[in-house]
Amino acid sequence: MHTTLEELDMQAKQILAKFGDNNISIKERTTIPLQEMPAQDPAVRITNMEEVALGYSENQVKVEAMRCLQCKNKPCIQGCPVGIDIPSFIKKAAEGDFAGANAKIKESSLLPSICGRVCPQENQCQKYCTVGKMKKDVEQSVAIGRIERYVADYSREHNLDVVPSVKASTKKKVAIVGTGPASVAAAADVRREGHTVVMFEALHKAGGVLVYGIPEFRLPKKLVEREIDGLVDMGIEINKNYLVGKTRTLDDLRDKDGFDAVFVGAGAGLPKFMNIPGENLIGVFSANEYLTRSNLMKAYDQKHSLTPLFNSEKVAIFGGGNVAMDAARTAKRLGAKEVTIIYRRSEAELPARKEEVHHAKEEGINFLVLHQPHEIIGDENGFVKGVKVVTCELGEPDASGRRRPVEIEGTEQVLDFDTVVVSIGNASNPLLKQTTDGLEVNKRGNIIVNEETCETSIEGVFAGGDIVLGAATVILAMGQGRKAAKAINEYLSKK
Amino acid sequence: MNEILYKEKLSSEVFKMIVHAPRIAEARKPGQFIILQLGGDYNERLPLTIADADPEKGTITLIFQAVGESTHHLALLNVGDYIENLLGPLGTPTEIGKYGKVVCVGGGIGVAPMHPIAKALKELGNEVKIIMGARTKDLFVMKEEMEAIADELILTTDDGSAGRKALVTEPLKELCETWKPDLVVAIGPPIMMKFCALTTKPYNVHTIVSLNTIMIDGTGMCGGCRVSVGGETKFVCVDGPEFDGHKVDWDNMLMRLGTYKPQEKENHHRCHIGLHIEEGEA
Ligand SMILES: Cc1cc2nc3c(=O)[nH]c(=O)nc-3n(C[C@H](O)[C@H](O)[C@H](O)COP(=O)(O)OP(=O)(O)OC[C@H]3O[C@@H](n4cnc5c(N)ncnc54)[C@H](O)[C@@H]3O)c2cc1C
Ligand SMILES: Cc1cc2nc3c(=O)[nH]c(=O)nc-3n(C[C@H](O)[C@H](O)[C@H](O)COP(=O)(O)OP(=O)(O)OC[C@H]3O[C@@H](n4cnc5c(N)ncnc54)[C@H](O)[C@@H]3O)c2cc1C
Ligand code: SF4
Ligand code: FES
């Protein structure tokens, strides 16, 4: 049963009427029910690209904030990669001081309206929350992310975000490669110190995975644009359509263009394939291509977009992570009748966030777990017509601690599909390594950095985000960007 | 940035544009390409070869055929207009060296990307023979420029309106037999490149082709441009666009080019209505 925003708001209103002024005992706080996130009705939302989660109402956010016990030892903070003072901002939210709450978050995190939407809180702050621990269910923890989202949206909508102040010009120049979250964070913190900051982005829009990967229905692109505009307001120059390594090498940026330091936030951005027969048939896409067509090129809007879409009826998604959920839910919205996630372990091991799996199921996505694709079968014209899968069972735990999928002999079968989206993650794009002398990377192609400073093997060149961590998260990328910015500012002060 | 400084209609459906793009002009090498996007949320990303560049003036030359909606939109721009997004140079440059005797085969619009390569090969002291093929006389582009480079220029047309009435593979086969080239470079429609590669195979002449697969980002991020070369999957935008023609899986590459055929036909029809171009003209 779908509960509407109005119904949820009404329930919250009743709770507020009961507890009124936030002056209640801990015991009473623990009796307040978790506030559910209002969402578009699944039957409706699969026909549009608009955001699924609608955000709390004012009553709901106040109620949810009242669930926080204001623990003295603040366990939630240790789960936050950037150390946001969580109880303090929640307290302000409970008191209705939303702008103050937002300002508190902004002391530690730059992009609350984005992180509130896409952070895997259940593995971070909410994992450590006392309320969740008491109820022995992490899903019962204070919904820190939802509160964060509300206060950030409130501040944006009421124009209460302040442009960070920038110190007097130091006449030093810093180049930032990429415009994803790592780069955004690094750029802002370096600019604050008065350095000239120029960002370089290969694509025709800035924002990295936030614009080309994560779908509109999870992260509206106007929010990303707004954050990028904020950088421009701080006096940061953004050069789009500029591929460092091709348009100009990283060495040239330093030697010819006089940049005193460089931050590389180039992201992961190299799609992995399964290396099974049939992967080059028509109708097989990497998740990056599939999502880029829809998000960056707006192909979901076929009335306006010139980028064509492949006509799909039955779509198979290989993989079980967040990227796979995004691809599956996108396929549904692009008109596929049937979308099936094929994953080799069991449902319990799905690496995707629970919430995303839940949303996917609500939207009618099928889950074929414990199956491994062996081959993609094509018709005589080279179009996909099926996928050969084999059934698996779970064996001993592997290096990752998850139980290894073991194929069961004699269980091969061919299932009908006309489209396959390979969503098994990204490796590092090798371009910068290939075009920069002395830039050291590890076996997986990730740039090696000093953990304290994010400095690479080249003096004055720093790196962070997915290009260092491998495919990670927005908040970890941002955290590294900030760390690198601190080191860059120190490096430049000595130069 | 990216102002269109010159525009010329080379034939009924082929256009030449000189665009201000100093950084690309400085960095580019023969064989490389750009990707452009005409601004806004909805325009497609369009790959085009850099046919020529002048680093001093900071310009690059693009030669393109209006085959579908995006190329038509580009053709509508005029001198003084801007190309909002222009990314490059992309791809791995041609390996220009001293090979000895080289045959360059340019089919249709493929002559444009061939030009800088033939020029560079000639400048390095290779003997260069050029075969240019087109459906009909009016569709030849850059004939004078190629004439200036070539030790011998052979023209072929499908209808016999100029040069020999033949496909390019006919003179190519003869040259393989009589002249014994050390290298063949073939650029043109995929089907032409496929047959050029098949023609040179028995003579064991190393044959370079330039693949024009469907692309989006052009930076190695999407894998949409992938082809199978010598049994390995390669990304044309970063590993290519040039490959050993004898190793390319042509049937797969040709198939993949047809991925969006039904949609493109419909859009093309739509843009003919919008642009007042006669059906059949482009
Ligand atoms: C589909 C999908 C869904 C995801 N969902 C979530 C989620 O829900 N929550 C979460 O926390 N994380 C999620 N992630 C992961 C998260 O998006 C990344 O960890 C994060 O964006 C990494 O940030 P970054 O700044 O390192 O790089 P990116 O965001 O990858 O940005 C890198 C940018 O650099 C540009 N670039 C690369 N090379 C060059 C060059 N040589 N010159 C110029 N520019 C260059 C690229 O074009 C790109 O714009 C998701 C990822 C994907 C793909
Ligand atoms: C590396 C590279 C370099 C290129 N250089 C040039 C160039 O210098 N000059 C030039 O005119 N074109 C060049 N092309 C081809 C050009 O990009 C396509 O013609 C263009 O994308 C078609 O877009 P459209 O929207 O106008 O047509 P669409 O509506 O997309 O297609 C119309 C017709 O063209 C065919 N087509 C689509 N894409 C391609 C393609 N990539 N190659 C061949 N046929 C295609 C379609 O099958 C269809 O029949 C190059 C392509 C690549 C990948
Ligand atoms: S752990 Fe939970 S209850 Fe305690 S302060 Fe943090 S959010 Fe509040
Ligand atoms: S065009 Fe996307 S990887 Fe080549």
Strands B14-20 and A284-286: unpaired
Residue A85 alpha carbon to ligand 3 centre in Å: 10
- Put simply, the answer to whether B220 touches A203 (Cβ < 8 Å) is no
The pLDDT tens digits for B184-209 are: 999 999 999 999 999 999 999 999 99
Rounded to an integer, what distance in angstroms lies between the CA atom of residue B31 and that of residue B116? 7
pLDDT for B282 beyond 70: no
Interface of B with A (CB under 8 A): 23-24, 27, 37, 41-45, 69-70, 73, 84-90, 216-217, 219-224, 226-228, 233, 238, 249, 251-252, 255-256, 258-260, 262-264, 267
B108 or B275: which leads in pLDDT:
B108
Beta bridge partners of B8: B16
Q: Which one-letter DSSP state was computed for residue A161? A: P
pLDDT for B280 beyond 50: no
- Angle in degrees, CA A417, A419, A421, rounded to 5: 120
- Is residue B1 very low, low, confident or very high in pLDDT (cuts 50, 70, 90)? confident
- Is residue B268 very low, low, confident or very high in pLDDT (cuts 50, 70, 90)? low
Q: Look at the pTM and tell me if it is higher than 0.90.
A: yes
Does residue B217's CB lie within 6 angstroms of at least one atom of ligand 4? yes
Domains of chain A: 5-157 (1.10.1060.10), 173-268+427-494 (3.50.50.60), 273-424 (3.50.50.60)
**Given phi > 0 = left and psi -120 to 50 = alpha, else beta, which region is B140?**
beta
Instruction: State the pLDDT at residue A323.
Output: 94
Q: Mutate which of A209, A289, A431 to test chain B, going by most B C-beta atoms within 10 A? A: A289
- Average pLDDT rounded to a whole number, residues B164-168: 90
* CA B184 to each of CA A2, A134, B192: distance values in angstroms, whole numbers, following the listed order: 66, 75, 13
Does residue A356's CB lie within 6 angstroms of at least one atom of ligand 1? no
Quick check: A166 and A254 in contact, CB under 8 A? no
Instruction: State the pLDDT at residue B265.
Output: 59
Other Cβ atoms closer than 10 A to A463: 30
Rounded to an integer, what distance in angstroms lies between the CA atom of residue B253 and that of residue B243? 12
- Is residue B39 very low, low, confident or very high in pLDDT (cuts 50, 70, 90)? confident
Give residues 176 to 205 of A whose Cβ lies within 8 Å of B.
202-204
Is A490 in CB contact (< 8 Å) with chain B?
A: no
> Looking at ligand 4, which atom is closest to the CA of residue B225?
4
Other Cβ atoms closer than 10 A to A233: 11
Instruction: State the pLDDT at residue A453.
Output: 95
Instruction: State the pLDDT at residue A420.
Output: 97
- Put simply, the answer to whether A273 touches B233 (Cβ < 8 Å) is yes
Residues 6+ apart with CB under 8 A from B84: A204, B2, B37, B38, B39, B40
ipTM of the complex: 0.89
The minimum CA-CA distance between B74 and chain A, rounded to whole Å, is 13
Instruction: State the pLDDT at residue B78.
Output: 93
Strands A384-397 and A413-416: antiparallel
Q: Which one-letter DSSP state was computed for residue A207? A: S
The pick from A211, A214, A219 for probing ligand 1's pocket by mutation, whose C-beta has the most ligand atoms within 8 angstroms, reads: A214
**Given phi > 0 = left and psi -120 to 50 = alpha, else beta, which region is B66?**
beta
Q: Which residues of chain A have pLDDT under 50?
A: none
The minimum CA-CA distance between B218 and chain A, rounded to whole Å, is 9
Rounded to an integer, what distance in angstroms lies between the CA atom of residue A193 and that of residue A91? 31
Rounded to an integer, what distance in angstroms lies between the CA atom of residue A47 and that of residue A224? 23
Instruction: State the pLDDT at residue B227.
Output: 95
- Put simply, the answer to whether A382 touches B252 (Cβ < 8 Å) is yes
Residue among A218, A200, A209 at smallest CA distance from A113: A218
Q: Mutate which of B23, B60, B87, B257 to test chain A, going by most A C-beta atoms within 10 A? A: B87
